[in-house]
Amino acid sequence: MPDIRAFFWFFDFAGTRETKQVELTGAEIFVRSLVEQGIERVFGYPGGAVLPIYDALFQQDELQHVLVRHEQAATHAADGYARSTGRPGVVLVTSGPGATNAVTGIATAYMDSIPLVVFTGQVPTALIGNDAFQEVDSVGITRPCVKHNFLVKDVNDLAVTIRKAFYVAMTGRPGPVVVDIPKDVATARAEFHYPRRISMRSYNPVTKGHPRQIKKAVELMLSAKRPMLYTGGGVILANASSQLTEMTKLLGYPITNTLMGLGAFPATHRQNLGMLGMHGTYEANMGMHNCDVLVAIGARFDDRVTGNVDKFCPTATVIHVDIDPASISKNVKVDVPIVGPVDQVLKEMLKVLKESKKKPDADAQKAWWKQIEEWRDMDCLKYDHDSDLIKPQFVLEKLYEVTKGKAFVTSDVGQHQMWAAQFYKFDKPNRWINSGGLGTMGFGLPAAMGVQFAHPKETVACITGEGSIQMCIQELSTCRQYGLPLKIINLNNGYLGMVRQWQQFFYDGRYAMSYMESLPDFVRLAESYGHVGMQITKPGDVEPALKEAFKMKDRLVFMDFLTDKSENVYPMIPAGAGQNEMILV
Amino acid sequence: MRHIISILMENEAGALSRVAGLFSARGYNIESLTVAATEDESLSRMTLVTRGTDEVIEQITKQLNKLIDVVKLMDMHEGPHIEREMMLIKVRAAGPAREEVKRLADIFRGRIIDVSDTIYTIEVTGTSEKLDAFVGAITRTDIIEVVRSGVTGIARGERALHL
């Protein structure tokens, strides 16, 4: 036997670490596993149950730990990191309240299919179920909002469980995975062995789309008279923006992106009709409603996109490409389903397209585009440029100009989010970071921190409102600690604007609890955290202030824009209406 | 329509709650659910009876397949299959009813597995419909206790749910 050991050690030095066998504590295994996984940074917050892990983190320098001020922010920051890089975000929190505080962030990532691995401390195994101090059933609480979760009861299973967690989080349709680690597991010892490869008999994500279905889809696309491409966050998650762009340009067809899919196809390109859905453009929604072939790619027919499904795309034959079979025919019946990774399927589609002798019907396309341009001429995003009040849309238009469209932009949730999606034109993927599915207020600032950590030299702007920003405002302290030069664009209208808008439209103007009283002086608040604060009250000051702020490359600037209190987001499809039944300005 | 779905899943803590959680979170019905380890101890087999339109059943099987612990599943109604449920029923059997209950048990191919002066406990196996019929045949007031195993099922012929 000793000879065999020696043989394996030889291999170890020869470069495969598969056989490395050293006895470490669970906490050390945690750190080593993350390093082996290629993780550089963990967002977290310490506490009793994770003390052994924090002790191990303290004694090494390969893995950076970012200390947030609230566990929700740790998950959002890891989420922003993941969305802007395509790499998994990693979170470490303690048991009990640490875990429950993280749940909002986990659910946010789950709804938008973001790969996160969240480690939660747990009370020692002997105390589990005893209502111990800071005990909560983390696996039970997170089960409905994770792709999968694990409770590690034996230190010998720790490394392989961590490997599985990353594998599950990152492959197939990505999503958050929780690993619950009891305190005694972190202190027990085991031989360390981090498997390079992993296979699970119960989990085998598809790697290719069905060739016959792909061919059928391409034929259908080429015979379309009024085609429409409708693409979502799946394109960005699959890193398939270049294939999508190539295919769309080759076909010459109109394309619309969902809120999650902005940036997958350049927003400034003529073929892009902008965002669709509840606050989408007139041309995009009318294009959807009147198309004869709908090509949905990495999009899931969310209710905010379809409106009333009974009135959705009444004349269309539907092609749907998605990695998740459960997304297909869930809300809208699909005629040609293709289950597979979007990048692979698009590559195959491009190949078939290029080989095909058939070309799109030029006359039909001409007529279709003529119709689309008529819809586009409605100029559905127009707003009052001559107002004495600052229009929020104007701030975002200027933000786009001042940053030359190159910033990473995060947002919170509400009117400002919709205006940002409408007015900031994203030409590249992974630049627009927002909570689409769950609609989590408080997401913007911590997410921006994660983005800035991932891209220290890039400009990162957080578009928010006075409601949302106060849900995670404590993170201004984290920004100070790590010197994150974020630019916060606070569109302050003194209202929970989207709530107020719905109350105006659907509740006869009874503005229940949508007025934000007792707001802080945001300028002095920012300054008290050691940042730069500005308040902008006049339209004429918007552009100079933005220019001044973005010149301060190494400072966080909090820009409090006092905007028109009564401005609404248009166009709007009221809930239950069809895509052709929009409220225009 | 009623469907019997058989699921092979990793025999791990929490696997059952993942399935139960999925059904409650998405508003699907569970009429019955049974689960036990198989000849391979690392695998559990679950049999689940649910009801829904074709679209709902399609979503249910897709969502179940998405659960990481689910290795494989089969909708029994995709082919010929056998369905069985077992019932233990405790009935008052005194006086003239005593003979009647025994006769009924024979007709339903049930077995009396416990006897006292006034009570028979009967085991009946069959489809859920057959068990319903047996319960219906016994005078309601004579029934003391009913316990049913929930439905299990297996495909006929070559078709099988295994790794």
pLDDT score at B62: 97
Whole-number Å distance between alpha carbons of A256 and A227: 11
Band (A585; pLDDT cuts 50, 70, 90): confident
- Which of B13, B18, B71 is the closest to A201 by Cβ? B71
DSSP notation for A462-485: EEEETTGGGGSGGGHHHHHHHT--
pLDDT score at A576: 87
Strands (E) across A232-369 are located at 255-257, 272-275, 293-297, 317-322, 336-339
For residue A163, give the H/E element and its range.
helix A158-170
Whole-number Å distance between alpha carbons of A156 and A477: 38
**B55 in reach of chain A (CB within 8 A):** yes
Whole-number Å distance between alpha carbons of A536 and A545: 7
Whole-number Å distance between alpha carbons of A437 and A305: 11
pLDDT, mean of residues A65-88: 98
Here the tokens at position A398 are: 């200027």
Is 70 exceeded by the pLDDT of residue B159? yes
Question: Is the distance from CB of A109 to CB of A140 less than 8 angstroms?
Answer: no
| N-to-C CA span, chain A | 80
pLDDT, mean of residues A361-390: 96
Whole-number Å distance between alpha carbons of A219 and B16: 44
Q: What is the pLDDT of residues B98-157, one digit of tens each?
A: 999 999 999 999 999 999 999 999 999 999 999 999 999 999 999 999 999 999 999 999
Sheet holding A532-536, edge to edge: A432-433, A408-411, A460-465, A487-492, A557-562, A532-536
pLDDT, mean of residues A268-278: 97
Here the tokens at position B2 are: 């009623």
pLDDT, mean of residues A94-99: 98
Whole-number Å distance between alpha carbons of A53 and A270: 53
R_g of chain A computed on alpha carbons = 25
Supply the residues of A annotated as catalytic: 71, 133-134, 183, 498
Is 60 exceeded by the pLDDT of residue A5? no
SS3 assignment, position A322: strand
Percent of chain A past pLDDT 70, that is, above it, reads 96
Q: Which residues of A touch B59 (CB under 8 A)?
A: 326, 330
Is 50 exceeded by the pLDDT of residue A105? yes
pLDDT score at A62: 97
pLDDT, mean of residues A329-337: 95
Question: Is the distance from CB of A315 to CB of A335 less than 8 angstroms?
Answer: no
pLDDT score at B13: 87
**B59 in reach of chain A (CB within 8 A):** yes
Query: How many Cβ pairs closer than 8 A exist between chain A and B?
Result: 37
Question: Is the distance from CB of A74 to CB of A105 less than 8 angstroms?
Answer: yes
Whole-number Å distance between alpha carbons of A373 and A392: 26
Is 70 exceeded by the pLDDT of residue A42? yes
Here the tokens at position B55 are: 């679209």
Q: What is the pLDDT of residues A551-567, one digit of tens each?
A: 999 999 999 999 999 99
- Is A201–B163 a contact, with Cβ atoms under 8 angstroms apart? yes
Q: Which residues of B touch A139 (CB under 8 A)?
A: 14
Is 90 exceeded by the pLDDT of residue A268? yes
Map A292-328 to HEC letters. Answer: CEEEEECCCCCHHHHCCHHHCCCCCEEEEEECCHHHC
- Which of A202, A324, A326 is the closest to B68 by Cβ? A202
pLDDT, mean of residues A383-405: 97
SS3 assignment, position B4: strand
Map B50-69 to HEC letters. Answer: EECCHHHHHHHHHHHHHCCC
- Is A143–B59 a contact, with Cβ atoms under 8 angstroms apart? no
- Is A201–B18 a contact, with Cβ atoms under 8 angstroms apart? no
Q: Which residues of B touch A151 (CB under 8 A)?
A: 13-14
pLDDT score at A575: 85
Is 70 exceeded by the pLDDT of residue A14? no
pLDDT score at B100: 93
Question: Is the distance from CB of A294 to CB of A230 less than 8 angstroms?
Answer: yes
SS3 assignment, position A181: strand
Q: What is the pLDDT of residues A486-530, one digit of tens each?
A: 999 999 999 999 999 999 999 999 999 999 889 999 999 999 999
Whole-number Å distance between alpha carbons of A242 and A264: 8
Q: What is the pLDDT of residues A205-230, one digit of tens each?
A: 999 999 999 999 999 999 999 999 99
Q: If we measure between CA atoms, which residue out of B52, B49, B56, B55 comes closest to residue B129?
A: B49
Q: What are phi and psi of A579, to 5 degrees?
A: -65, -20
Here the tokens at position B129 are: 């419909």
- Angstrom CA distances, A259 to A42, A86, A420, A449, B155, stand at 28, 18, 10, 21, 46
**For residues A411, A415, A419 and A421, what is the CA-based torsion angle, rounded to 10 degrees?**
50
**B54 in reach of chain A (CB within 8 A):** no
A-interface mutation test, from B68, B69, B70, B161, most A Cβ less than 10 A away: B68
Whole-number Å distance between alpha carbons of A354 and B55: 36
pLDDT, mean of residues A451-457: 98
R_g of chain B computed on alpha carbons = 18
pLDDT score at A21: 66
Sheet holding A89-93, edge to edge: A64-67, A41-44, A89-93, A116-122, A176-182, A148-151
- Is A200–B13 a contact, with Cβ atoms under 8 angstroms apart? no
pTM reported for the whole predicted model: 0.94
Here the tokens at position B17 are: 């709650």
pLDDT score at A12: 40
Question: Is the distance from CB of A242 to CB of A249 less than 8 angstroms?
Answer: no
pLDDT score at A9: 40
Distance of CA A311 to the CA centre of its chain: 29
Here the tokens at position A98 are: 């640490």
Percent of chain A past pLDDT 90, that is, above it, reads 95
SS3 assignment, position A336: strand
Strand partners, B51: B2
Here the tokens at position A346 are: 């698009």
Is 50 exceeded by the pLDDT of residue A4? no
pLDDT score at A20: 52
- Which of B55, B59, B68 is the closest to A168 by Cβ? B68
